[in-house]
Structure formats: C-alpha cells, structure tokens
Structure 1
Amino acid sequence: MLIAFRTFSNEKHLKITSYWAISCTTYFVPVPWVNDMETSTMISIEDNSQDFQKAVLNILEDFETEKKQLEQSQYAFLNILEDNDEERKQLQQSQRAFLNILEDMDVEKNKLEIEISARKHTEERLKQANMELDNFAYAASHDLKAPLRVIANASQWLEEDLTEHLTDETRENMALLRGRVKRMEKLLDDLLEYSRIGRKEDERFLESVQGDALMNNIIELLSPPQNFIVTVGKDFSKITVKRMPLQQILLNLISNAIKHHDKKEGHIDTMVEVGDQYYTFSVKDDGPGIASQFHEQIFQLFQTLKPRDQVEGSGMGLAMVKKYVERVGGKLHLESSEGHGSTFSFTWPINR
C-alpha cells in the first residue's frame, strides 16, 4: 500500500490519502502549527490500520520536533537582537559619557583660563606694588635719612659753638637729640631690610660657609662684653650653609640675648641639630625670661618689652627673624618663662 499526505495553505489540516488498487481512503489530521506551506511525502507502510496509525504519529512527532527547533531558533534570534540592542544602549551610554567628559574638560579649561588671566593680573599688580615698595625703600634710605644727618650735624655744631654757654642739662638734651636721630636711622635701616626680605638678594646669599666659621664671624661682629660668654655647639663644624640670611638671624637672636639680659654677666649657648631635611638652630640664654602673654607680641613690628629709653632698639629684630624663617618654610619657636631665661629655636631647610 502507498500512503501520501499533503498540506494545503488554506487548510490547517494534514490531508492523508490511502491509495488502493481501485479505491482510496482519505483522512484529515489537524496540524494547527503548520501554515502557508506545502509538503509532500510518500511513505510505504504495511496494509493494516495499526501500522498506519504509527506512521501518522511518527510524522506528527517529526513536525513537533521541527516546531521546537524552529522555536529555539526564534528564541536564539531574539536573544541576539536583545544582545545587540543592549550593546547599542551601552554604546550610546559610552558616547554620552564621553561627551560629558569633553564638556567637563571644556568647562575646566575655561576656569583655568580665567584663573591664569587673574593670576597674570595679580602678578602685574604685585610687580607694581614691588616697584612702589622699592621706591619707598629708596626714599627711606636716602631722602628721609638725609635730614636726620643734618639734624645730628647741626646739634653737634651748636654744641661746639656754644660750649661756654651750655649747662649740663643742655648738653644732656643735645646728646639725647643725637641719640634719637641714631635710633631713627636704625629704624629706617631695619625697615628697609624688612621690606627686602625675599625680594632683594646680593652675593652674600650665594656665599657658602662652614657653620663654625659663620658663628665666629657673628661673635666678632657683636663684640660681646667680656663678662658674657657665648658658646658654639660642636655640630656647627659639621654643616655648610649659605651665609645670608642665617648670619642676620643668629646675630639678631644673640644680640637680643645680650641686650635684654638683666645681669652684668651672662651665658649664651648656640646649638644646631642636623635632621633628615632640616637643621634646628637654637639660642639659649640665662636672662630674665619672657612671660607667656608676650610670646606673640615680641614678633610683631616695632614691639619691645621695655621702653626704648631703657633698651635701645627699633623693635624690628624678631619680626625680621620670623619673616626670614617663615619665608623658607621653617618654624620659629620660643620656650621661656619669667625668671628662667629664654630659648629661641627655628628650623631651616638643609638644601637652602
């Protein structure tokens, strides 16, 4: 017996026709998943209904398998489309992020340009201020000091011309006048030096010197009284430093220790400790000490703890020390209490 089946596009059935010698039997089997397709298959089976039913079931199982494979292919294709869509979204997000970065860079560029312009403007103003300060310093060192010298000379001439007519009180007043002139000259010199800290440097700032040689030179410049002993720590011989401004700093500190001492004799120790990046210099005295409430005041401009009639000075020395030390990134420290002496210490960069 010969079996043939055909599907028609306008029917959702599987038409199975059984051909015999003269007659034929036709069966309609529903196949709902088949649509818009035609299939023809010829199979040979035994002439009994049981075999025929098995054949039909096998055909249906094949169609079910094909259907599952087709669905799996459709799922796989949809997954690919979903993956592509996800990758497209990620690409769009990356593009947006990149555009945001470019926008941020543009904003930062504009900010930087504004800052550079403002800095240039500030530098120009600073240059102008420095020029004005230099002009003031020139006036202070020449124009203002010139009349002071005239006053000092005139008082000296008057005293010489009127020697026979001057009393002791008058001579004392004339000496006081010349003393005030010298004080004003010293004040102008110190003010000029203070204004130049960090701006004006000469060959002394380039000269290197051994630490012990530096201290010997400072002691020679000070010429301390014989009843004052200034000791130099042994570690000074181990270091080499630029002469200036360390010479000015140490000279001011030692000079203050002698000038403000409350006894006729005293002892001053100078020491240096060598660290990894900094030297630590210290000047210790056995003088009257400084009360804690004045520890900040003494580093301000024109400040003295005693009237200038008692201790001659401009009140600029410690202010200059503080400015020099802070200018190079060092730290200045004072340890003192009333009646127990003072120790001034400061750090100084080794490579300075």
Structure 2
Amino acid sequence: MLVSQKKHSQEYEALKKEYEDFIYIVSHDLKSPMRAISNITTWIEEDLEEENTASIPENFKLLKNRVGRLENMMNALLELSRVNKLEEEYTTVNLKQFIEEVANVAVGKSTATVVINYGLSQYAIAIAVNKIQKVLTELIENALRFNTNEKKDIFVTIQETELNYEITVADNGPGILKEIEDKIFNIFYTASSKDHVETTGAGLTISKKIMQTINGDLVFNSNEMTTFKMIWPKINL
C-alpha cells in the first residue's frame, strides 16, 4: 500500500511540475506577439498624428503578421488540448505504400531528395493511420523547414523490433545545438527566430503527445544528423 501511495505521489508531483512549466511557457510566449501588437498600433497612431504615412503600410503588414501568429499559437494550444480525444482507429495498410504517399505529399514541390529504407518482415501492418500520418508529415516538413542547405536530403527508415515498429526521420540540415536539445519538445519553442522561420513551434510538442496516446513515443537523437524516431507497439487485428 505504501509503495502504491508513493508511486501516485510521485506521479502527481511530476504532473504538477509539468502543468506549472506548461503555464509558464504559454504565458511567456503568448506575451511576445501581444506586446508586439501593442507596440505596432502605437507606432501607427504616432505616424497618423504626425501625418507621416510612409511607414504605415509596413506597420500594418507587421500587425497582420503578429495577429496571425497569435491566432496560430492559440489554434496550436487548442489542437494540443484535443490530442487525447482523437480517435485511435487502427487500419491495416501497406506501410511501404503509406510511407511513400505521406512523404510525397509532405515534400510537395520541394526539390529535396527522400531516401526510404525498409526493415520489415511484412508490409501489411495495422496502424493508427491518421496519427502516424500527422506525426510523420510534421517530421518531414520540419526537416525541410529548418534545412538551410541548397541540396536537402531526408532519410526515412522503417524497421521493427520484437514489440514495436519504428520510423526514423533524419536530414542533412545544420542540426540542433546540444544546449537546446532538452527544449525542442517544449510548446512554442523554436531554435530559429520566428521572424526568420514562420512557425508556432508547437508541432513537435503535439507530435510527441500524439505518439504517447498510442502507447508509443517520439524521441530525438543527435549523432551526425538530426534524427527523430517514432516508436509505437505492434497491434494485431
């Protein structure tokens, strides 16, 4: 009984800390676009009073950008809050064909090269289609978004262990600095300024939570290349 109480107490403290960290991060990151909106409207007012209209169009453009960013961040929070409510319907698919279709759509008109390697005993596999598709798309789009190389290469590897399936996504981009590796799954965190790369910084947070809803995980490894691995248990239908 005491062991059970201690375990529940530890879980409660961990959840409490996670909640407090989440509230701090959200309140801190939402303040930035709100402060920018306030500043820009003040600049526009001052320009109108001084009849200096030259900079007004650019300030309106900045204003629309920050309003859009704030809206995207709120939508990301809403999406994160709904992850646990997403249906977990499993469907048997040809995983080889599925991965190729998702990669083609995610890459779109980009000239990036996608190399896919398979290490499966069979291709007909039961998966939570929508969830796996969403996370894999996010990882491939991230690999493109933050890759500054002229020739972008993405490597997708699908393999299985005795209990799990794994999809690894790696790229030849600049990589992630060691000192920020522990922050990459934080909501709204981005390694690059949002002014340089327009993103909410919520994609990896949502993706990790999605994988956890199917008793899996999304993990990051930094070797020679930036590497994310999706892991989820085998399901027999």
| TM-score bucket of the superposed structures, by smaller chain | 0.5 to 0.7
Structure 2 contact 95–124 (Cα < 8 Å) conserved = yes
CA gap of 1:209–1:185, structure 2 versus 1, over 3 A, is farther
CA contact (8 A) 1:272 1:279 kept: yes
Instruction: Provide the C-alpha distance between the structure 2 equivalents of 1:212 and 1:267, rounded to a whole number of angstroms.
Output: 19
Specify which of 105, 111, 118 is matched with residue 227 of structure 1.
Answer: 111
Give the residue type in structure 2 aligned to 1:342: T
1:244 is paired with a residue whose SS is helix
* Paired position in structure 2 for 1:336: 222
Q: CA 1:227/1:170 → structure 2, altered by over 3 Å: closer, same or farther? A: farther
Residues 192, 221 of structure 1: CA spacing in aligned structure 2 closer, same or farther, 3 A cutoff?
farther
TM-aligned CA distance change 1:266 to 1:342, over 3 Å: same
Say whether 1:201 aligns with 2:86. Answer: yes
Code of the residue aligned with 2:194 in structure 1: it is R
User: 2:164 aligned with 1:287, yes or no?
Assistant: no
| Correspondence for 1:243 | 129
| Post-superposition offset of 1:299 | 0.9
For residue 98 of structure 1, what is the aligned residue in structure 2? none
Matched, 1:263 2:170: no
| Paired position in structure 2 for 1:345 | 229
Larger Rg: 1
- Using the alignment, how far apart are the partners of 1:268 and 1:280 within structure 2? 16
> Unmatched 5+ residue regions in structure 1?
1-107, 116-150, 152-164
- SS of 1:299's equivalent? coil
Q: Give the residue type in structure 2 aligned to 1:302.
A: F
Larger RCO (CA under 8 A, 6+ residues apart): 2
Asked if 2 retains the 8 angstrom alpha-carbon contact of 1:231 and 1:268, the reply is yes
Alignment partners' CA distance in 2, 1:212 and 1:294: 34
How many pairs does the alignment contain? 189
TM-score (norm 2): 0.68
CA shift digits 1:220-258 (9 cap, x unpaired): 443444321122334578142221211111111111111
- Cα separation, 2, equivalents of 1:330 and 1:314: 24
**Pairing of 1:85-124 with structure 2 (within 5 A):** none
1:242–1:331 CA distance, 2 compared to 1 (3 A): closer
1:311-326 matches, cutoff 5 A: 311-326=197-212
Whole-angstrom CA distance in 2 between matches of 1:348 and 1:244: 14
Gaps of 5+ in 2: 6-36, 38-51
- Residues 1:272 and 2:158 are matched in the alignment: yes
3-state SS of the aligned residue for 2:114? strand
Give the TM-score taking structure 1 as reference length. 0.47
Give the CA deviation at 1:317. Answer: 1.1
1:1-352 correspondence runs (5 A): 167=54, 169-198=55-84, 200-202=85-87, 205-235=89-119, 238-240=123-125, 241-336=127-222, 340-351=224-235
Rate the CA distance shift 1:324–1:175 in 2: closer, same or farther, 3 A.
same
Q: 2:153 & 2:104 partners in 1: Cα distance?
A: 17
Letter in 1 for 2:227: T
* Aligned twin of 2:22: none
- For 1:189 and 1:220, locate their aligned partners in 2 and report how far apart those are by CA, in whole Å: 26
Distance (Å, rounded) in 1 between the aligned partners of 2:66 and 2:101: 29
Q: Report the CA distance between 1:284 and its aligned residue.
A: 0.7
For 2:14, the equivalent position in structure 1 comes to: none
Contact preservation (8 Å) 2:107, 2:140? no
Q: Is the 8 A contact 2:112 2:153 kept in 1?
A: yes
Corresponding residue of 1:76: none
One-letter amino acid matched to 2:199: G
Using the TM superposition, give the Cα deviation of residue 332 of structure 1 relative to its aligned residue in structure 2, in angstroms: 3.3
Instruction: Give the AA of the match of 1:301.
Output: I
1:274-310 Cα deviation digits (max 9, x unpaired): 2221011100100001122211111111111111001
CA contact (8 A) 1:209 1:242 kept: no
Tell me if the contact between 1:229 and 1:267 (Cα under 8 Å) persists in the aligned partners.
Answer: yes
1:188 to partner: Cα distance? 2.1
Give the counterpart letter for 1:190 in structure 2.
A
Cα RMSD between the aligned structures?
3.1
User: Structure 2: which amino acid aligns with 1:180?
Assistant: R
Asked if 2 retains the 8 angstrom alpha-carbon contact of 1:224 and 1:258, the reply is: no
